[in-house]
Structure 1
Amino acid sequence: MKGPQLLQHNSGVLRTSVGAAFPGSHAVYRGKNLHRDLQQLDWVALYAYGVIGRHLAPEQLELVQALWVSTSYPDSRLWNNRVAALAGNARSSVNLGMIAGVAVSEATVYGGNAALRSMRFLQTTLERVRAGEALADIVWGETAQRRIYGYGRPINSTDERLPVILAIAERLGLHQGAHLALAFEIEKVLLTRYQQLHMNFTALHAALVADMGLSVREYQLLRVPVFMGGMAPCVAEATEKPEGTLFPTPCAAVAYEGPAARAWTGR
């Protein structure tokens, strides 16, 4: 079925397997009665269940929550927090500010897109290694065409989140997955040529989630709230400041290289 036939098949009706609301009666969530069957779940468990359609194990949920907590930096100088905070300081609505911050969190260099590319590389590389290819050949072949996301970090190449998350993963018994082991082997290869390319949180996060059996698309959905814990206090504080006082830029600080000022004469 395709074209007009496909459109006609879906006209006037929502065909869904994820759920539906029946006002005045009940709500179905992934085949379960939301208010009867799922009230015992905490929000992280419900969110993950909604994304992947199966329940993660308690230790996996605890690790996901630890990953989110570890990225909750309430620093308005960070790229996505800055957008959200500036919106709040400009007296935009809280929802619009937060949504704007979440939207730019998809950044390619060090945001959501970097994480997706890292996970995709880990998954495909693991398949190739298991098929007999040499890891070093794969790594140098990749770097010859594009960067390998999840390695290196601006300002300081040491990522303070790694030892925290690795300790939690070890306590939960989630530190021996194939993707995580591969991530460390890739780091070893990269460091033979580039001493600054230590593994960062992106590769760690992607590897741990890949070892949970999630797809790249599921990972993209799962990580949406990853920075929100740090973003919210930035917006809250920015709304308390006088309007326009968050990161104001004086004209003298603007380096202008355009056309010179023109003299205007009246007629």
Structure 2
Amino acid sequence: MSLSENVGGFRTRMGQAFVGSRAVFRGHDLHADLKDLDWIELYAFGITGRRLTPQQLRVLHAVWVFTSYPDARIWNNRVAALAGSARSTGNLAMAAAIAVSEASIYGRGIDIRAIDFLQRTRRALDQGDALDALVRAELQAHRGIAGYGRPIANGDERIAPMMALLRELGLDQGAHVRLAFEVERFLLEGRWRWRINYAALCGAIAADFGLSAREYYLFNVPAFLAGMQPCYIEAAERSPGATFPMPCTHVRYEGAPARAWPARP
């Protein structure tokens, strides 16, 4: 659609606010048709245009809950904490912390690559390709597989509770979830010894729920948010600058040596 076709109005299929009257959300009256929706149900509906089942919504709640760590040492939480230490507003602190959650290794970048790999691999397997060849090709192309291995630990503490929930709800046998663990088995039996991590499992869950890579990415934007607020609050309650202070004596400096400056005349 050209620019000229959009002059003089705003065409949308998503919704519109009729101020003083009503608000339309994807063709539904927000205050009448959707008033009883859980917030995350509305959030997922806004992204996908579909109404997910109660079981699926419970799992998606857990995706966020199981990764809400109020640890200010974590890279994005640190931003929230430092913002509190600098006496920034909570809104700016959260916005900055969510922005750096785009990290390609630990954050949203790995989410996209994980679900993309699992969806591509599932389609290729359905067409008759062999799993070992597909995994080896991914390793050769990227020297790793998104969602497998973990730089800071051998294993992921979130896998067990998430799998327990999936088994409870009868959602543990989805095609992508089973594939995710088949890939882990191949990597563990080979020379790589990489275990599945949270990114691969959650990507597999999202794929089984019918989410695209973009939909899954958008759903996960606030995934760390619940852990950020406590970090901001605690830092704001301390003296300004008292969160992660770094004295000069703790910096390993390897630059030019100290110099004597001539006195001003």
TM-score bracket, normalised by the shorter chain, equals over 0.9
1:82 aligns with 2:78: yes
1:98 aligns with 2:99: no
Q: Runs of at least 4 residues of structure 1 off by over 4 A? A: none
2:68 corresponding residue in structure 1: 72
Amino acid at match of 2:238: K
Residues 1:156 and 1:196: Cα distance change in structure 2 (over 3 Å): farther
1:248 corresponding residue in structure 2: 245
2:39 maps to which of 40, 43, 60: 43
Q: Cα deviation per residue 1:107-128 (whole Å; 9 max; x = unaligned)?
A: 1111110011000000001111
Q: Give TM-score, length-normalised by structure 2.
A: 0.96
2:14 maps to which of 10, 13, 18: 18
Structure 2 Cα separation of the partners of residues 24 and 258 of structure 1: 64
Amino acid at match of 1:179: H
Question: Per-residue deviation at 1:155?
Answer: 2.7
Question: Per-residue deviation at 1:195?
Answer: 5.3
1:149 aligns with 2:146: yes
2:57 maps to which of 58, 61, 66: 61
Question: Per-residue deviation at 1:12?
Answer: 3.2
2:28 corresponding residue in structure 1: 32
Q: 3-state SS of the aligned residue for 1:224?
A: coil
2:180 corresponding residue in structure 1: 183
Structure 1 Cα separation of the partners of residues 239 and 229 of structure 2: 18
Q: Is the 8 A contact 1:180 1:211 kept in 2?
A: yes
Question: Per-residue deviation at 1:87?
Answer: 0.8
Q: 3-state SS of the aligned residue for 1:144?
A: helix
Q: Cα deviation per residue 1:65-113 (whole Å; 9 max; x = unaligned)?
A: 0111101111101111011111111111101110111111111111110
1:134 aligns with 2:130: yes
Q: Is the 8 A contact 1:157 1:196 kept in 2?
A: no
Alpha-carbon RMSD across the aligned residues, in angstroms, is: 1.2
1:52 aligns with 2:48: yes
Aligned positions, number: 263
1:201 aligns with 2:201: no
Structure 2 Cα separation of the partners of residues 118 and 126 of structure 1: 12
Question: Per-residue deviation at 1:192?
Answer: 2.3
2:208 maps to which of 206, 211, 221: 211
1:169 corresponding residue in structure 2: 166
Q: 3-state SS of the aligned residue for 2:166?
A: helix
Q: 3-state SS of the aligned residue for 2:147?
A: coil
Q: 3-state SS of the aligned residue for 1:152?
A: coil
For structure 1, the residue ranges without an aligned partner over 5 or more in a row are none
Amino acid at match of 2:100: V
Deviates more, 1:17-26 or 1:250-259: 250-259
Q: Percent identity?
A: 52
Q: Is the 8 A contact 1:150 1:204 kept in 2?
A: yes
Question: Per-residue deviation at 1:196?
Answer: 4.1
1:160 aligns with 2:157: yes
Amino acid at match of 1:64: L
